[in-house]
Structure formats: C-alpha cells, structure tokens
Chains A and B, each alone.
Chain A
Amino acid sequence: MKIIYQIAIIFSICWVSQVIEKLLPIDFPASVIGMILLFLLLSIGVLKIEHIREKSDFLLANMAFFFIPAGVSVINYFDVLKSSLLPLLAICVITTVVTFAATAYSIKLTLHLMRKKENKDV
C-alpha cells in the first residue's frame, strides 16, 4: 500500500504541474514545474522525503530505462540523422569541451573574487 500512496503523491504532483503548464502564459515544461513544485513542498515541510523515498529512488535509479522509447523513435528520423551525422558529432565534441572550460573558469574567477573580497574585509 505504501508504494501506491507514493505513486499517488508523485503522480498528483505531475498532474498539478500539467494544470499549471496550461495556465501559464509562457512555454514552461510541465516536468520541470513538477520538479520545482516537489522541491518547494519538501522545503516548506508539507512533504517529507520518507513519504516518497521508495518511489523516487525507483524513478531516479532507473532513469535511463525510461528514455528507451524516446530514443528508439530515432528510427523514424534515420534520413535526417544520416545527412547530418558528422556535424552532429562535431557539435557534441566541441560544445562539451567549450562548456566545461567556460564553467570551470567562471567558477575559478568567482572564487578568486570572493577570496579577494574576504581578504579586504579582514
């Protein structure tokens, strides 16, 4: 019964998020609204981790599995993929390196400035 309650809690959050998505004037994905909603519920203490632990562990631990059908639908886009396979690979490699560098350096700079300010304060 515990698992059924947990499924009910998480699924209702998802449904409420879909309602909110419809009501919002902007295109904000429902799944992300659900994530924010759940975070808020946990933060204000309406929900405790214990209320959803087993179900959320199940969902998080098996996350990759749930993407299989979405990935398999690539079968319908073989022609598109074939014509742009090389640029696609190049984009993935280049942007991954660039993103890593930009993130790392911006944090380095932030930490450096914070330390400098701290020293000044002392």
Chain B
Amino acid sequence: MSGQPSTSAQPVLKTEDLVLYFRTTKGVVQAVDHVDFELDEGRAVVVIGESGCGKTSFAKAVLRLLPRNVHAYTGRVYLDGQDIMALDDEDFRLHIRWAKMSLVPQAAMNALNPVLRVSDQVAEPLLIHEKDVSREEALDRAREMFRFVGVPESFLSRYPFELSGGMRQRVAIAMALITRPRLIILDEPTSALDVLTQANIMNVLKKIKWETGTSYMLITHDVATSSELADDVAVMYAGQMVENADAESFFKEPLHPYARMLMAAVPKLRGDEDLEFIPGQPPSLLDPPTGCRFADRCPFRFDKCDQDPPLFLVDGRKVKCWLFEKDAQGVYGTQPAVATGD
C-alpha cells in the first residue's frame, strides 16, 4: 500500500478472484464474489462491513473452514507466495491452518472447551502442529503467551467458566498466537465486550503486532474501534470488496460512496458532524443485481453503474466504483459536488 515500504517483496496474504458460494434451500448464496486482495507483511488490515456483507465468509474462504453446502469455491489464495488453494485438505490442515494462519473466531470467549483447563487449551494447537514439542515445552510456551496477552499466571490452571469475558478473549488470542503464525484472522474480537475491556484487548493486539511483526486481518462492523488497529482498511459490501486503502487516507476521506456513507453513519463522541443514515437495504446475496451492487442506494449513481465496475487504482488505493475511472485524458471521473439522487 502507498507510503509504507514493505520489508519483503511479496505480500503475506494475497487472494485472486476468490469465490465462495453456498447452496441453500432457497438457492445459491454468493457470499464471496471474485475478491482480489493483498496484505503486506507486518500490517493489519481491517475488513469492515455490515451484517451479511460476506466478511466472515471471506475469512472462512481464506482459512478453508467450509460448511457442507458449498456450491463453488474457486480462485487463488497465496500465503507468503505459496498457492494454498492447491493443497489438499489434509496438507492444509497440518501445515497451514493454525501453523501459518490462525483464527480468533467470533464470540471466541464462548468457544473455549468448558471441560479443559485454559492452559491445556492454549497448548493444544502447538502439540498438534509441532510434533517434536513435548508437553512441558508446550505448557511453558502457553505460560509465555499468557504473560504476553496479560492473563495472570495464576489463571493457568483454571477452567473457562472461572474467567471473565475479557480474560477468555485473551485466552483465545493466546491460542491463536502460540504457533507463531504469519497471519492471525480475528472475527469480531471485541464486539461482545465492554468499552474498557475492548480497549484493553486492542492494546494487547497492538503490543503483539509491534513486538512480533505478526500480520492481522481484523473483521468487524465496528468502524470506530477498527481504527485502533488498522494499517489498511478493506470495505466489503454484498460479497464484494469495494474499497481497499491504507488507514490514514481512508479515515481521512473514504472514496467509495458506500464507505463514505458508512463513515458518516458512525456516531462520534467528540465530533460535531451531523449523523447520516443510508436508506434502503443491502441486496440479497441470493440474487445480486448485475450492475454495481450499491447502485440502488447510491446518491451518485449514473448510467454506467448498470455494469459491474472493476477495481480502479487511485493513488495506491483500490476502489470499485465507476466514478474513479480515468477518461481518455487520464483524468478521473468527477464526483458530482451535489448528489444526483434525492
């Protein structure tokens, strides 16, 4: 992304034309629709979008955590340059999932096994993926992780129900960290937590990023909190990635109309701006429109929007919107100063 020199030549995660469709009784749900995406090493990208936009499905597509009713799963996913889509399931399980990429799932604090002590749970991924590690070594590393995420050592031998929500979330993060993966994907890590606990967890994640250089993909609908961790921002809408930019530029001024309206709908504690909301609803993923999927609700819609726009490159940012098409002189399409809609 612009402005930040990367330490390595290739991005830590890259997807090309990633597709994930589900088969349901009502038809085919196009959850992830031809997503192209890149994340450089040591950076954190925040994937924001509202419910049903496909962001969780995107994470599942990258991690190959698929349910039974998959209709289509194609495209390429490169982890450190290696095409992991080409691996078979067993290879993927042993060498990629949790070894190189791990996940802190939604409501992770409720996903802990209630009959195992937390230390055992945190040690388990290590024992599975690194065969030559002994049990004592694994527990030692678990202890180290606990210290890292800020859980007191006395909690090691406790069961999940004895810990508060915030503590359990930290345990889940430790579990994702212990195998020293290249990339951690976090799905709504703080949405069920209180404000202070949220800030705490964000601090922990920041520390981990600065000290270990792990890359992050943070998935959330909470735009405000996302800025705590974001180096890059990716916005998803109706199964497609509509904007991908570095955080600095994005939070100052988002480009895609949906992103702009989303930002304007976020209540700010200290700002003085008016709040705006987006009328209408996102299209159903069962039968998405053929043109730009946001066109129905977009105040800047014009006739070209009947076709699905490609990703345009604007100052190192990617935007999926016809307004950013360069014309014959290399000049960008003008954003009307006034909305063409209502």
Asked whether A and B interact, the reply is: no
Query: Which B positions have Cβ atoms within 8 angstroms of A?
Result: none
